[in-house]
Amino acid sequence: MAAPVISFFHESGINFTTNHNVDTYSPPCTSFGTYARYQENNVDGTYQWDGWVDCQDGQGFRYISRTPSLGYAKGLAVGETFRRGGGTGMGDVHRNLYRKDSAGSWLAWTGTSCYRDPISGWQGTSVSATRFDTVTGSGNC
């Protein structure tokens, strides 16, 4: 059995309707049990967004892709965990979740909320205003 691939992706949409195909990037620096930083930036003066990932290996952020012009330059930050197939786990930690306001200040997320919970046996749990984990369990978020 081949080892699972760790992929990063970014997508955009309005009212839960995806307006951009999911672009995935599987950098060779990722491995299970390690942390990576993820960043989504609005391209100044446009309605486009760039996705970046930093494996914290000293190489800095690696580019994932850019969305097409979507008509907006701000939005809701959303983290997501999912799996492909039934033979893999989903244990996941999303920590140090911050956003930059229009003045350039970094602020903690205002808290987490659950939009969708379709995988049985796994649930999201809010640990703090800047962290949520995906853990085994049968609760709804």
In this predicted model, what pLDDT tens digit does every residue of 80-112 receive, in sequence order?
666 655 666 677 788 888 877 778 888 887 766
pLDDT digits (tens, 9 = 90+) for 6-18: 667 666 666 666 6
Tell me: do 64 and 44 sit in the same domain.
Answer: yes
Tell me: do 70 and 85 sit in the same domain.
Answer: no
Q: Is residue 140 within 8 Å of residue 123, measured between CB atoms?
A: yes
Q: Is the dihedral of CA 78, 56, 34, 51 positive or negative?
A: positive
Tell me: do 84 and 51 sit in the same domain.
Answer: no
Roughly how many angstroms between the first and final C-alpha of the chain, as a whole number? 31
The pTM for the full model equals 0.67
Tell me: do 20 and 65 sit in the same domain.
Answer: yes
Q: Is residue 56 within 8 Å of residue 36, measured between CB atoms?
A: yes
